[in-house]
Structures are given as C-alpha cells and as structure tokens.
Amino acid sequence: MVEGLTLQKLMKATPSKALIMRINLIFLAFFLVIYASLLLSPSSSVYFENAASLVKCSLRECHHKAEKGKAIVGEAKVNARRSRGNMTKVEVPSFMNGMGKGKKIGMVNMDEDDVSGWKSHGETIPIDFERVSEFFKWPDLFPEWIDEEEETDVPSCPEIPMPDFEVYDSLDLIVAKLPCRYPEEGWNREVFRLQVHLIAANLMVKKGRRDWNWRAKVVFWSKCRPMLEFFRCDDLVKQEGDWWFYEPDMTKLEQKVSLPIGSCKLALPLWTQGINDVYDLSKIQRSTRTSRREAYATVLHSSEAYVCGVIALARSLLQTGTKRDLVLLLDNSISEPKRNALAAAGWKIRLIKRIRNPRAEKYSYNEYNYSKFRLWQLTDYDKIVFIDADIIVLRNLDILFHFPQMSATGNDVWIFNSGIMVIEPSNCTFKILMDRREDIISYNGGDQGFLNEVFVWWHRLPRRVNFLKNFWANTTNEASVKNELFGADPPKVYSIHFLGLKPWLCYRDYDCNWNIGDQRVYASDVAHQRWWKFHDAMDEKLQKLCGLTKQRKIELDWDRMMARKSEFSDEHWKINVTDPRRVHLI
C-alpha cells in the first residue's frame, strides 16, 4: 500500500519536473540569443571614434555601414535603383543629335529615371553619391557670423558629400537632374539643389573632357534655371523645354569650386589657418597687379545729395594707387556743372536711364534703386568692383578683382551686403534681373534684398573690406575696438561704410547721428573725422560741392535742439559748432 502511494506520488511529480526543465531551457535559449546579439553588434565606441562623425550626424541623417571591418558614417547611396518598369522614361533633347555617338556620359541624380534612350549616344555611367540630409539647412553653410579674426575659433564648413571622383574615367558629357521646388518659399536655398550643382561642377573640373576651346559639356534637366553662380547665362548654348545645355568657361568654374562651399569660411582669409600669421596675399596680389578690363564703379541717380560722397570716394580710391578705371553711372537728374566736377574728380561718366522698382512706393527712397542693375551692362569690362557712394577706401582694393561674382561681405543671417561687391558684367544677366523684377520680393525693398534672391551662393570677403559704421552691441568695448579701427594709421580696415546720416550732411564738428535717438547706433566721431580728412585734401572747387543748403541747416539745428531736450548723456548737443559751412550756405 505504501509502495503504491509512493509510486503514485512519483508519477504525479514527474510531469511537474519536466515542465520546469522545459521552462528553464526556454529561458536559457532566450538569454543565449540576447548574449549572441550583444557580441555581434558593433561597439557603441564607434560613435565616439571621431568628433567629426558627430558633427556630420548632427547635420545629416546617418547610418553605419561596414567597409573593410570599419564603421563608416554615411547615407544611403542615391543610385539605389528602382526596377525599370517603375521608372519615368527620359526623352533625349534634340540637340543631342548633333553631338555624335560613342560618348561617355556621366549621369547625376538620374537613378529614378529610365535613361535607356541616352544609350544611343554612348555609355551612360551613373555617378554615385550620398544625398545630403534634409536636416542640413542653408544657415549651416551661410551663418550670420563667423570668427574672421580667429580670436577663439578657426572657421570651418560642414561637409557636403561628394562622389569618389577617382573611380571615374574622363567624361565627354555630364547630365544632371536638378531639384526644383519653385515656387515654394526658400526653394532657391535648398541644400540638395546646391549639392547637385557642386557635384556637376566638380565632375566637369576633375573629369570633364575639354574641347579645343578648353570647354567641357554639361546638360541639366530642370524646370528651374540652373544657378547663375555656377553656370553663367553667357555659357548657355541651347535651351529646349526643361533641358539646359552649357559649355562653361572652365577657368572660371575651376576657381569657383576651389573656394569655400559657403560663407562659413572666408574666400579671402586674414590669417594662415590655425597659425597666428597674417595670410600671405602675395600670390593673389601678383595676379591682380596687371590692369585688365576691370573697373571700380558706383551709381548716382534721382538726386544730387550724394555728389559730395561720390567725389570723396573717387579721391580715396585714387590715393590707394589703383590704376583701374573709375566708372560713374548717373542719370539726367545730375546737372551739367556737377557732372563736370565729378569728371574732374576722376570719374568716367556713363549716362543711364533709371530703373524703377515696381514694388516700391512712389517717391520712396527705394523707388529707383534697381538702377544698380545697369552695372551688368558695362560689358566693355570683364569685372567690376561696385562701391556705394557713402564709402571711403583706406587701403588698395585691387585684390578683389581676383574673386568671382558674387563676392561680398556678410550682412544679416545668410545675406550679403551689396555696399561693396564683385560682379561680372553680362547682357544676359542684366536681362534676367530685369525679367525677375515683378516676381522677386526684396526683404528690404531695395536692390540688396533683390540681388540676394538671385545670387544665393556667394563668397564671403572679410568685414574689414566693407567695414560698417555701426555699434549694434552698444557696449563700451565694441565702441573702443571699432573706433580704434576707424582711426588706425596705417589703416587696418580697407574701407569705412558710413551708415546713418552721412558726414557731408552733418556739421564737421561731430557726427550728427548723436542727435537722433534711433540713429545713435551709427555715431562715431573718429570715423566722422576720418572722412573729413579726405574732404580737406580735395581741390577747393570740389569742396564747394559739399556745402550745406539752408534746408539742411534748419534740420541740423532742429536735431540739436531735440537732443538738448532729450538730455542725451554724451552731450554732443553742447559742442560749439564752428563749421564755416553753416554761414556759407549753397
């Protein structure tokens, strides 16, 4: 009986122990799988092997791929192709019929399209590259501010992925599909659009086969015009629908792709990178020493208020020793005696018809500011350095003729300041500017805002080239540093750009911007006196053109009275005015 009970208990217990063993085996297998996956997965230390990897991942979506046992930061290749049945058949433009057969054709960003039709003209070679991430934005390339003086940091640019150019043979033709999100806001500042332009330009420079005229061939497929900054309208051979065929000037294109990819770095460095030595400009200076078809230019229209400023600008340029022509565009609002005086100051006069800004209010300051577009009609010159009439030049600026269109100093956000800029005259560029007057909305209502929408990819010159007279930080330290630069002899800045009320419209005793509340950020007695030194060096006959009118004297005295009532702490309103012009009005 006892043996029977014991056997019964054992029989009941056996299934229970078997169940436990099965459960244990399941858990053991589960943990073995987890352990194996941990052993086989890449170490997290990969993410910290290089600080640059982290920067790239912050700008672009990243994944890790294996290459010879190493972890590489990158993105999926653009040429991950779809099956041909899902592709759009790309019709070949008719102008290809004149190019012959047997060509090597590099295809950029064409991987989602059926390009089999192109094979009748030769071998089509897809160009592999990693597409830049949508998180990579325009301000990453065109920041508002960089440490030009390298006081705390050396400026650098983020990396835009490029193909491995070395794996490709020479190409007879490059065909590229350009993104076009027009009319979406910001369509012209899409980084992917820039990337495709950069790839096409670099591919032409590195692998494009030149003809007898030292030109290579590229065809773009896009509803939007390719960027003028890379592919000039002068180099456009044929347009057929959405197809654009160019034969670029390769010397110009080579220079452009050698410059920084954005305003994140200076095109004209002040310092040897990473070293506390002044950048050696001798090579660039030698290239600009011979005077070519180049000129300095400014524009005067609608009023004679800036005649004095234009004369001072001419005298300041000539004192730097430049041998370039000085060209002045003016309209018929400038009287004959004033024109003669301007010619005597050194300007070559060109009479123009003003260009109205269709979006400007009648009689507003910006109404005829688009007259600056006439600069592109100076086609008897290859290159122009434009300088605003409210600037004086302290150091020779001939070095700027080395740089391409559009080279300028920074202003706000990704905007350049058009006060000094390098341009390349072209009748077709002028036509493009004129044709776009109606559809482009200028952020400031003037030519600067307009030009920034046309030339979005520009080259940053040091702010010392176009040093703005302003004190936005409104600190003692800022005033001390800038005033030291304004007064330095020999000069440390190339020019001074007089924002606010102009020196010739003030009494010479002090900067009259001090008298007006919202203009005080532009006030500097040091810069003011610097301008008057140029005035005093003028011929006396030219000085008379800088006199005060009765109306202007009334305005100056009113502003002094209001400053006294406001009791501005600088007390410039207390200064005794001795300027003889106040009694010898014009």
- 149 and 92, same structural domain? yes
Q: Is the dihedral of CA 482, 488, 490, 495 positive or negative?
A: positive
- b/e 517-550 (16+ beta carbons within 10 angstroms → b): eebbebbbbbbbbbbbebbeebeeebeebbebee
- Same domain assignment for residues 362 and 501: yes
Q: What is the domain-level CATH number for residue 310?
A: 3.90.550.10
538 found inside a domain? yes
Residues 286 and 243 occupy one common structural domain: no
- Residue 253: CB atoms within 10 A of its CB come to 25
> 444 with 363, same domain?
yes
pLDDT of residue 8: 36
pLDDT by position in tens, the chain (length 586): 433 433 333 333 434 445 455 655 565 666 555 555 544 444 333 323 333 332 333 333 333 333 333 333 345 455 444 455 567 788 999 999 988 899 999 999 999 999 999 999 999 999 999 999 999 999 999 999 999 988 888 999 999 999 999 999 999 999 999 999 999 999 999 999 999 999 999 999 999 999 988 899 999 999 999 999 999 999 999 999 999 999 999 999 999 999 999 999 999 987 555 444 555 667 666 766 666 899 999 999 999 999 999 999 999 999 999 999 999 999 999 999 999 999 999 999 999 999 999 999 998 888 999 999 999 999 999 999 999 999 999 999 999 999 999 999 999 999 999 999 999 999 999 999 999 999 999 998 899 999 999 999 999 999 999 999 999 888 899 999 999 999 999 999 999 999 999 999 999 999 999 999 999 999 999 999 999 999 999 999 999 999 999 999 999 999 999 999 999 999 999 999 999 999 999 8
In the numeric block, the tokens 């077709």 are attached to 428
Looking at the fold, whether 230 and 330 belong to one and the same domain comes out as no
Predicted TM-score (pTM) of this structure = 0.84
Kindly list the distances between the CA atom of residue 16 and the CA atoms of 4, 139, 474, in Å, as whole numbers in the listed order.
Answer: 19, 69, 84
Does one domain contain both 105 and 88? yes
**Domain region containing 29:** 1-38
How far is the C-alpha of 407 from the C-alpha of 418, rounded, in Å? 9
Tokens 């086609």 correspond to what residue?
A: 379
Q: Supply 310's token pair.
A: 């234009």
Residue 456 located in a structural domain: yes
Question: Is there a domain that residue 270 lies in?
Answer: no
Tell me the C-alpha to C-alpha distance, in Å, between residue 557 and each of 58, 482, 505. Answer: 57, 28, 12
Q: Which two tokens stand for residue 422?
A: 């390098």
- Pairing, β 459-460 against β 407-410: parallel
Short-list 471, 536, 520, 528, CA closest to 496 = 528
Phi, psi of 530 (to 5 degrees): -65, -40
Q: Which residues of 319-332 are buried (b: 16+ CB within 10 A; e: fewer)?
A: eeebebbbbbbbbe
What totals of helices (H) and strands (E) does the chain contain, helices first? Answer: 14, 20
What confidence score (pLDDT) does residue 31 get? 58
User: Structural domain tally of the chain?
Assistant: 4
Q: Is 102 exposed, middle or buried (0-12, 13-18, 19+ CB in 10 A)?
A: exposed
369: how many CB neighbours lie within 10 A of its CB?
26
Cα torsion angle, 134, 135, 140, 144, sign: positive
CB 179 within 8 A of CB 197: no
SS3 221: strand
pLDDT of residue 116: 92
Beta strand residue intervals within 144-235, DSSP E: 173-177, 218-221
The CATH number of the domain holding residue 129 is 3.40.50
CA distances from 474 to 116, 244, 492, 578 (A): 64, 50, 22, 29
Amino acid making up residue 248? P
Looking at the structure, tell me whether residues 461 and 536 fall in a common domain: yes
Q: Is 498 found in the same domain as 378?
A: yes
What separation in angstroms does the CA of 428 have from each of 78, 299, 384, 433, 483? 34, 20, 16, 9, 43
Q: What per-residue confidence (pLDDT) applies to 474?
A: 82
Instruction: Using alpha carbons only, give the angle 357, 360, 361 rounded to the nearest 5 degrees.
Output: 140
Give me the amino acid identity at 144. E
Q: Name the residue among 218, 141, 236, 248 with its Cα closest to residue 429.
A: 236
Residue 274 falls within a domain, yes or no? no
Distances (CA, A) of 3 to 10, 11, 12: 11, 12, 14
Provide CB contacts within 8 A for 188, sequence distance 6+: 182, 224, 453, 456
- 224 & 329 share domain: no
Same-domain status, 348 and 249: no
Are residue 4 and residue 50 in the same domain, yes or no?
no
Instruction: Give me the pLDDT at residue 73, please.
Output: 32
Domain boundary (225, 258, 291) is at 258
- Distances in whole angstroms, Cα of residue 556 to Cα of each of 125, 234, 345, 391, 564: 70, 50, 28, 22, 12
3-state secondary structure of 149: coil
The answer to whether position 526 is within a domain reads yes
> What is residue 294's three-state secondary structure?
strand
Q: How far apart are CA 128 and CA 125, in angstroms?
A: 9
- Answer yes or no: is 154 within a domain: yes
**Does 287 share its domain with 238?**
no
135 in any annotated domain: yes
Give the rounded distance of the alpha carbon of 543 from its chain centre. 38
For helices 250-258 and 191-207, the axis angle rounded to 10 degrees is 120
Question: Does any domain span residue 267?
Answer: no
